[in-house]
Amino acid sequence: MESWGGYEPQVGEIRALRTFRIGPGGGLHPLFSDPPWCDGLNTARCLRAEGPGGAPRGHAAPDPDCTCGFYAYGSEGAAEEQQHARHVLATVACWGHVIAGTRGIRAEQARIEALWLSGAVPEPLVRLVRARYPSVAVYRDRAAMVADHPPTELDCYELSPTERPSRTRLWLWPVAAAAVVLGVLPTRWLGAAGGAGTVWLAAIGFFLVAAMVIGRRRSSGRAAQRDVFVCLAVVMWLVAPFAGPPGLILLRLPLVEVAFLGLVHWARTARAARQFPADIA
Ligand SMILES: [Zn+2]
């Protein structure tokens, strides 16, 4: 089953979680489109007016073969994949046509039911949000909001509503960093001839096994994919010197670029997530 499709629950309202950007006027804007949500009923429409070859699509949102519809996550853990959710998290009630996947749902109609705003959101902006969304229960305590307005648990979700992705893999980051450093140490530091090769081979084996073990568990979705990617990147980093100078140029250089770009993207998103009010085009 995919993240956002494959299952069409036949029940009434489904509650799920999502984040918003807060505009200068207190409007709640989606991360990837600019029009703010309304207080009360919101109805999704497909923005892809034309299909392949210019044929009109004209379908109601959401459509199983399209990406349209209102998105909401099934659990706090899944919602936190977006950094904005660390400061703004809403429980939305969804109904009409709903399509569910492993991470959350896409819905035709939705209403913001409750909203948690972290301490980073300034009080004057909170007042603007309250004035613009009088029907929404605004919380400054996140646990209280989730307890009062819990997301609906669907069988297709990977994580239960209040579950966070497995924390056990926090060990991965320092171990991966140590392996990266190991990969650039002068070989004579790692023992006599052949010593470095043995240490590297052991590390390569360790990260290959870790990638396979993490990849087989499908319980934490995107976090698991990212961790598998980190393991395989470390393997490539350590394998590169065995291929001589071409290995360093063709394997290590791209890894440094990807790591740098990833870091820049992460830092930009983190800054945008803490910006109140957000820049709305
Ligand atoms: Zn569509």
Return the pLDDT at 221.
67
Return the pLDDT at 188.
66
How much distance in Å is there from the Cα of 29 to the middle of ligand 1?
A: 19
Return the pLDDT at 214.
85
Residue spans of the domains in the chain: they are 14-164, 168-271
Q: What is the dihedral of CA 172, 269, 271, 114, to 10 degrees?
A: -100
Alpha carbon separation from 61 to 19, 79, 110, 113 (Å, rounded): 20, 21, 12, 21
192, pLDDT greater than 60: no
Per-residue model confidence as pLDDT tens digits over 42-88: 999 887 756 666 666 678 889 888 899 999 999 998 898 899 999 99
How much distance in Å is there from the Cα of 194 to the middle of ligand 1?
A: 59
Per-residue model confidence as pLDDT tens digits over 142-189: 999 999 999 999 988 887 777 776 555 678 889 999 999 988 887 666
Per-residue model confidence as pLDDT tens digits over 251-278: 999 999 999 999 999 999 999 999 999 9
How much distance in Å is there from the Cα of 3 to the middle of ligand 1?
A: 16
Q: CB neighbours of 238 closer than 8 A, spacing ≥ 6?
A: 179, 182, 183, 200, 203, 204, 207
Q: In angstroms, rounded to a whole number, what is the distance separating the alpha carbons of residues 100 and 69?
A: 11
How much distance in Å is there from the Cα of 64 to the middle of ligand 1?
A: 8
Stated pTM of the model: 0.81
Q: Are 21 and 121 in contact (CB under 8 A)?
A: no
How much distance in Å is there from the Cα of 233 to the middle of ligand 1?
A: 36
How much distance in Å is there from the Cα of 93 to the middle of ligand 1?
A: 21
Per-residue model confidence as pLDDT tens digits over 218-231: 555 677 888 899 99
Greater confidence (100 vs 55) lies with 100
How much distance in Å is there from the Cα of 37 to the middle of ligand 1?
A: 18
How much distance in Å is there from the Cα of 141 to the middle of ligand 1?
A: 36
Q: Indicate the average pLDDT of the chain.
A: 88
How much distance in Å is there from the Cα of 204 to the middle of ligand 1?
A: 44
Mean pLDDT of the 102-110 span: 94
Return the pLDDT at 168.
54
